[in-house]
Amino acid sequence: MSKVADFIKVLWDTTAKTNTFGRLLKNVELISAANGKCKAEFKVDEEHLNYAGTLHGGCTSTLVDCISTYALMSYKDKGLPGVSVDLHVTFLKAAFPGDIISIDARTIKAGRSMAFLEVELTKKDDGAIIARGVHTKFIGGQ
């Protein structure tokens, strides 16, 4: 594991154990973070649901934001997260309590000032796509 991957793991573990919004990550297992990609798995629990009993869109959006940021941090081992400029999520299928969601993020391009990332969330058991995300980050001056 690279130094950046080790840093991401420490950051991940620390954030998930706080009383801040980052505690949403406590059910997320980081699988890998390297070469501009990040893979994770997430078990949907009752605390992640909307009133209809399905995975809340805000939770999904947070996962897109966080996992794509870790993908960017692993890009060329720079370790810098950047700042969100645009986050777009398309919701394709509901997820329910107990579902295991695979999250795959990749850095499409990172230039001098902007980075472009994509994320796909799928149900682990059947591969059904839950959501797709596109994330643009400002990385200038880093």
Q: Give tens-digit pLDDT for 38-80.
A: 999 999 999 999 999 999 999 999 999 999 999 999 987 667 8
| Interval 100-141: pLDDT, tens | 999 999 999 998 899 999 999 999 999 999 999 999 999 986
- pLDDT computed for residue 42 by the predictor: 93
- pLDDT computed for residue 127 by the predictor: 96
Is-contact 58 48, C-beta < 8 A? Answer: no
Q: What is the pTM of this model?
A: 0.88
| Interval 5-19: pLDDT, tens | 666 666 666 776 777
Is-contact 63 120, C-beta < 8 A? Answer: no
Select from 74, 17, 84 the least CA-distant residue to 40: 74
Question: How far is Cα 104 from Cα 37, in angstroms, rounded to an integer?
Answer: 7
Select from 80, 4, 3, 70 the least CA-distant residue to 40: 70
Question: How far is Cα 2 from Cα 69, in angstroms, rounded to an integer?
Answer: 17
- pLDDT computed for residue 134 by the predictor: 98
- pLDDT computed for residue 139 by the predictor: 93
Question: How far is Cα 127 from Cα 142, in angstroms, rounded to an integer?
Answer: 37
The confidence band for 23, taking pLDDT boundaries of 50, 70 and 90, is confident
Helices (H) and strands (E) in the chain, counts: 2, 6
Residue 17: beta bridge partners?
none
Please state which CATH number belongs to domain 3-138. Answer: 3.10.129.10
- pLDDT computed for residue 80 by the predictor: 80
- pLDDT computed for residue 65 by the predictor: 94
